[in-house]
Amino acid sequence: MPPKAPTPSARQVELLEAAYRYALTHGLSDLSLRPLAEAIGSSTRVLMFLFGNKDGLVRALLARARTDELAILDHLRRADGPVGLVPAVDQVWAWLAAGEHRPLLRLWAEAYARSLVEPDGAWAGFARATVQDWLDVLADCQPASEREGEDGATRRTLALAVLRGALLDLLATDDEPRVTAAVRQQLTLMRG
């Protein structure tokens, strides 16, 4: 069993939350510790002490974003029974399409892309982990008879591909009605 991570101090939690709000607005690609520290009322030295280095802070910010991402999906797991893949995708899309979630989703897209082109360091494994998180949640939404086997995995993968592709299109164009119509059409096909 791996050793348990130490409980972060109140100051570390406070600064992580402030840095997370900053990252939601400014992104992570050009993150520089000095302007970040100034913006959140800290110093580079304190951030280095609490997070080790810039990569440590980026890893903490990615973990924080992943926590928000999983919280979105958690309500689907708490249903009395599996809600079904199509209703789950419909509910997830409604959340993804809401304008107030764009900062988190842009941060997710940036981290996902960076994880693909910079597979080492702070970004290591983010894309793979987020794919697995979503596939696990979608599997929990499927009735057991549908979940098991290759066909169930294929349906989950298709559902995730539709959500991810539609999300990237939405982030690029902000054309929510068009993209939502495409998602709804795919859900109709998945019902059949």
Angle 179-30-42 (CA atoms, 0-180°, nearest 5)?
A: 115
Tens of pLDDT, residues 67-121: 887 777 776 666 566 789 999 999 999 999 999 999 999 999 999 999 999 888 8
CB 121 within 8 A of CB 55: yes
Per DSSP, 179 falls in state: H
Q: What is the pLDDT of residue 20?
A: 92
Give Cβ neighbours of residue 171 (< 8 Å, ≥ 6 apart). Answer: 102, 105, 106, 109
* Nearest partner of 130 among 164, 165, 99, judged by Cα: 164
Give Cβ neighbours of residue 86 (< 8 Å, ≥ 6 apart). Answer: 187, 190, 191
CB 142 within 8 A of CB 152: yes
Tens of pLDDT, residues 18-76: 999 999 999 888 889 999 999 999 999 999 999 999 999 998 998 898 888 777 777 66
Q: How many Cα neighbours within 13 Å face the side chain of 50?
A: 23
State the Cα–Cα distance between residues 33 and 45, nearest whole angstrom: 9
- CATH classification number, 10-191, choose in 1.10.357.10, 3.40.50.11900, 1.20.120.140, 3.40.50.720: 1.10.357.10
